[in-house]
Structure 1
Amino acid sequence: MTKPILSLQDVTLALEGNAGPVEILHGISMDVSEGETLALVGPSGSGKSSLLMIMGGLERASAGSVTVLGQELSEMDEDQLARMRRDGMGVVFQSFHLIPTMTALENVATPLELAGHKDAFERAATELEAVGLEHRADHYPAQLSGGEQQRVALARASAPRPRLLLADEPTGNLDAANGDAIIDLLFDLRDRHGATLVLVTHSNTLAARCNRVIRLHDGRVADAAHDASQAAAE
């Protein structure tokens, strides 16, 4: 049987607050198969984004086991986690996180350069073309609309050909038209590179595009087998 690309076993997360520890996640267990598309849904404050950050090694679990791309994250230091994300993972945030002093092309090429790809700028140009922004390659983030900035962020995440793509509310800062376009691009990029996709969303339309939906409530899995079509009908 093929090992899952991502596996969480009894994961908890507690963060220190002004009044003491605050429990964010409670005993989360799940497996994600290679090539799967998975939506994490639930009300604000249910722990969706925290769970995604743990999957990406951007937040450390307080307890439990997190295995990503065959590696147990608790056994890795920060440099090892950074290399794992660089070599096998793409992350897309709601707020874009582009480098303001770099052009669109340079933003997309940066992770490729850090990984030592000699054709970084050629590959970056190809990814910008795939998201329809080849004509904006020399523009800086401040010269781009919100939808265009998110397209650059998608191109940057997909350029290294990651096996795992994580997206945190990728349409959250966009209007309906731009959000729909980003959804289409996200799945086009996933299909082109064959990546596993895990995303956090409040959008029923986006969740319905996924193979599987996991609903969180108060830091717990409410219904791990909830079908995407059911979520779209709610």
Structure 2
Amino acid sequence: MTDPVLALKDVTLRLNGNAGMVEILHGITLDVHKGETLGLIGPSGSGKSSLLMIMGGLERATSGSVMALGQDLTRLNEDGLARFRRDHMGVVFQSFHLIPTMTALENVATPLELAGKADAFDLAGAELETVGLGHRADHYPAQMSGGEQQRVALARASAPRPKILLADEPTGNLDGVNGDAIIRMLFDLRDRHGATLVLVTHANSLAEKCDRVIRLTDGRIAPQHRQATEQAAE
């Protein structure tokens, strides 16, 4: 088997809260392999989103190692982490995080411009067409529905062709119809670009599509939860 795309070993996360130090993650050890789709599920407060943020270098582990594409993220400074995400990762958030003063086209083109792509706007336009929003290229986020904004966020994350795609509750703010559309697009982007996909979700319909599902409980991986493919075979 090839080396994992993501490899976490004995990762812990402690943060200062109003009541003092709070233990968020406890000794997480986890490998994610090339082309795999991994679902992270569990109750609110179980540490799912925190784990995803650590995988993306958006949160620093208190201890342990976080390897991504052979690079130890714990050894990178903030600028190094930003460059690594720019070159190798796409992140989709539940709340979209589009830049309100930029059009859909400009939002999608921004990471491409930061990566030095001379044809950033052509590539961004093509990606908007892929998610069915070519006709909305000149519209601002406030002029679009939630489903449309999430599709722009997907286009922005996938346009640089990242090796790793992280999604935090990508359907959480959408109704059923729009949520189903985002699920189809997310997996279509994975298939077309060959990315490794890790997603946090409460939606059973999304978790069931993953190659493997891990349940977190109180900041720990629940040992009784097996791969979705094994469960489906029973």
TM-score by length of 2: 0.97
1:70 shift after superposition:
1.1
The aligned amino acid for 1:176 is G
Matched residue, 1:134: 134
Counterparts of 1:229 and 1:137, CA distance in 2: 39
Per-residue CA distance 1:88-112 (angstroms, 9 max, x = gap) = 0000000000000000000000000
Counterparts of 2:210 and 2:154, CA distance in 1: 18
Matched residue, 1:197: 197
Counterparts of 1:224 and 1:83, CA distance in 2: 37
Counterparts of 2:224 and 2:79, CA distance in 1: 33
TM-score by length of 1: 0.97
- CA RMSD of the aligned region, Å? 1.3
Per-residue CA distance 1:114-163 (angstroms, 9 max, x = gap) = 00000101110111011000000000000000000000000000000000
CA contact (8 A) 1:213 1:224 kept: no
Identity %: 76
CA contact (8 A) 1:24 1:219 kept: yes
Query: Which secondary structure does the structure 1 equivalent of 2:222 belong to?
Result: strand
1:20 shift after superposition:
1.3
CA contact (8 A) 1:52 1:168 kept: yes
Matched residue, 2:165: 165
Counterparts of 2:90 and 2:13, CA distance in 1: 23
Judged with a 3 Å threshold, the aligned counterparts in structure 2 of structure 1 residues 225 and 43 are, in CA distance, closer, same or farther, namely: closer
CA contact (8 A) 2:170 2:201 kept: yes
Judged with a 3 Å threshold, the aligned counterparts in structure 2 of structure 1 residues 205 and 20 are, in CA distance, closer, same or farther, namely: same
Counterparts of 1:20 and 1:81, CA distance in 2: 28
Matched residue, 1:70: 70
Query: Which secondary structure does the structure 2 equivalent of 1:40 belong to?
Result: strand
Counterparts of 1:163 and 1:58, CA distance in 2: 17
1:74 shift after superposition:
1.2
1:230 shift after superposition:
7.9
1:227 shift after superposition:
2.8
Query: Which secondary structure does the structure 2 equivalent of 1:156 belong to?
Result: helix
Per-residue CA distance 1:9-63 (angstroms, 9 max, x = gap) = 0100000012211000000000000100000000010000000000000000001
Matched residue, 1:180: 180
